[in-house]
Chains A and B, each alone.
Chain A
Amino acid sequence: MTKLSTTDLLCRFSGLVAVNKVSFAMDEGEILGIIGPNGAGKTTFINLVSGIIMPTAGRIEYKGRDITYLPAHERARMGIARTYQLIHPLENLSLVENVMVGAIFAQGQGLKTARRTAEELCEELGLSDVDRDTARLSILETKKMEIARALANDPEVLFLDEVMAGLNADETHDLIATIRRIAVERRLAVGVVEHVMGVIRELTHRVIVLEAGELIAEGPYDEVSRNPRVIEAYLGGAA
């Protein structure tokens, strides 16, 4: 069943077309890779579907409903969640309180219930000592907290923008397993942006490739990675 889809989604920043007529669809239970060279428009695409920026043209549908111009906080309440490429834990709030925010405002829970929700999420992700100051978290723990914060929305669609960046091989494996587990358990549709192709290969069922804002290929990773246009895009990006 299609959860989220876009039709000819276009985003222009003054002169630059950051996302150029992208149409895609994401199904329940699917882990979708979103790849492309630096500046391809991956983060902008996530910003558009999560409501952080509004598109210049095109259409976004969530569970059959037009959400193209809905504000971000309403999309969060409907079940769209995301993490940020640059993580900023909320200062003056402890680990568990950081996670509570989504439970309070996206799910509308009272403080007591929200705390229980947040504690359960922390446990699910292997985060202990939940009253800690966020300044004392390791990189892996910070990434997990970011995921827990997104899950606190009780989402049906989750976007992860380079959550693996900065992790070593063991930590990356740990997080891949975690993400796969929560995706299956919650029947989530997950959109994953990563630069490390090993992660994409291992984690995703299908990928879409963006280059200069355009969707240039789509399919299982092994197929797409042999696509001459994709190889060209990456070589072009590297040169």
Chain B
Amino acid sequence: MNRNIARAVAAVVAAVAVALPAFAGAYPLQVARNVMMYMALAITWDMLLRSGQISFGIAGLFGLGAYAAILGVVRGGMPVWLSIPFAAVVAAAAAFLLGFLILRLRAMYFSIVTLALAEMFRIVIHNLHDFTGGPEGIVMPAGVIFGGNAAALYWLTLAGLAVALAASWWFEKSRIRFALTAIGNNEISASSSGVNIFRWLLVAFTVTSGIQGLLGGIYVQSYGFATPDGVFSADFTLLPLAMALLGGMHGTVGPVLGAVLLGLVSEWLKLKIPYGHLIVYGIIIIIVILFMPAGILGLARKMSRGAEGGKS
């Protein structure tokens, strides 16, 4: 019953999302693209978080994917469509290899190293001037993908979001959920139940990083150029994190909810007070951590449980 309602709602939302370009103008489509991009990043961040590992490296893999896509075309002569899956492969491969080094680390140490890696990617690209274009960035000679058609660009980002949603759903419905939840709860007891901790962390890190790279590829082809400061911007780490925190962690719905709310609020704030939106994110993160650590979803669950208790 409840599940049928949820399915119906999801189907309607999906239909509206696909059909949006038919009745929305260029500006709302642009806003929707932004929200969907951050939503997808928030989902991937949460997917790894389910194992207890907090990554601060989203921008690093996003930026790496962005540069992989644009350099694949400009230096490698790759067709533009191929450059987007190529971005995913490069980011996933980088995460897979780096995983052997950094997935032995835990808690703060893991977080700090992911942050450092992101910065390292940026600095390397910044300094490989001849290959990457250096600090001034690099431009797609053919310009924006699909000739900049607003509807097509919207659908491209929607496809990126669909990949993140599908992966998150797979993480929730398969044995990966059991592996990551067991690891996140207690690694020692997880290993006593036969969970190969490193292996599952490597799977989660590689998959989420690959999607982050894919999104970077989509982003860069949607704008037709990349600069190190642009695609490695801390926004790509902090906003998804704030969205997942606000909506509620450890599931698909929380980050989606947080992204819609925070994404729309930030669009509105950007118009009212340029750069002021960053301060608002900071305030939201602090308020959420202090007063509702389980996010909006957690608060809703607590309230519905309270109502149940009152009845019985």
Picked from A51, A92, A105, the residue with its CB within 8 Å of the CB of B193 is: A105
How many residues in B have their beta carbons less than 8 Å from beta carbons of A?
Answer: 19
Residues of chain A contacted by B190 (CB below 8 angstroms): 101
Interface residues of A in 199-217 (CB under 8 A from B): none
Does B195 have its Cβ within 8 Å of any Cβ on chain A?
yes
> Are A93 and B191 interface neighbours, CB within 8 A?
no
- Give the number of chain A interface residues (Cβ < 8 Å): 30
How far apart are the CA atoms of A50 and B193 in the complex, in Å? 11
B192 partner residues in chain A, CB cutoff 8 A: 50, 52, 72-73, 76, 81-82, 84, 150, 153
- Closest chain B residue to A108, Cβ basis: B194
Kindly identify which residue among A72, A90, A100, A102 contacts B185, using a CB–CB cutoff of 8 Å: A90
- Please measure, in the bound complex, the distance between the C-alpha atom of A6 and the C-alpha atom of B174, giving whole angstroms: 38
Interface of B is mostly: helix
Which interface residue of B185, B188, B191, B193 has the most chain A CB atoms within 10 A? B193
Chain B 169-181 interface mask (CB, 8 Å, partner A; 1/0): 0000011001101
Is there contact, CB below 8 Å, between B186 and A101? no
Contacts of B193 in A (CB 8 A): 73, 76, 101-102, 105-106, 149, 152-153
User: Please, how many angstroms separate the alpha-carbon atoms of A101 and B191 in the complex?
Assistant: 10
B182 within 8 A of A: yes
Contact status B194-A92, CB under 8 Å: no
In the complex, are the beta carbons of B195 and A52 less than 8 A apart?
Answer: no
B182 neighbours in A (Cβ, 8 Å): 90, 93, 101, 105
Residues from chain A with Cβ under 8 Å of B40 in the complex:
none
A149 contacts across to B, CB distance below 8 A: 193
Q: Within 8 Å CB of B195, what residues of A?
A: 73, 101, 105
Does B185 contact A71, Cβ atoms closer than 8 Å? no
Contacts A105-B178, A111-B175 known; A90 to B194 CB distance under 8 Å? Answer: no
Give the chain B neighbours of A152 by CB distance below 8 A.
193
B194 partner, pick from A77, A84, A91, A110, beta carbons under 8 A: A77
CB distance from A190 to the nearest CB of B (A): 16
- List A residues 44-103 near B (Cβ within 8 Å): 50-52, 71-73, 76-77, 81-82, 84, 88, 90-93, 97, 100-102
CA distance A47 to B149 in the complex (A): 62
Task: Verify if A104 is at the interface (C-beta below 8 Å from B).
Answer: yes
Partner of A91, one of B174, B185, B191, B197: B185
Asked whether any CB of chain B lies closer than 8 Å to the CB of A107, the reply is yes
27 A-B residue pairs with CB within 8 Å: A51-B191, A52-B188, A52-B192, A72-B191, A72-B192, A73-B192, A73-B197, A76-B191, A88-B185, A88-B189, A91-B181, A92-B181, A93-B178, A93-B181, A93-B182, A101-B182, A101-B190, A104-B178, A104-B194, A105-B178, A105-B179, A105-B193, A105-B195, A105-B196, A106-B193, A106-B194, A110-B175
Residues of A with Cβ closer than 8 Å to B? 50-52, 71-73, 76-77, 81-82, 84, 88, 90-93, 97, 100-102, 104-107, 110-111, 149-150, 152-153
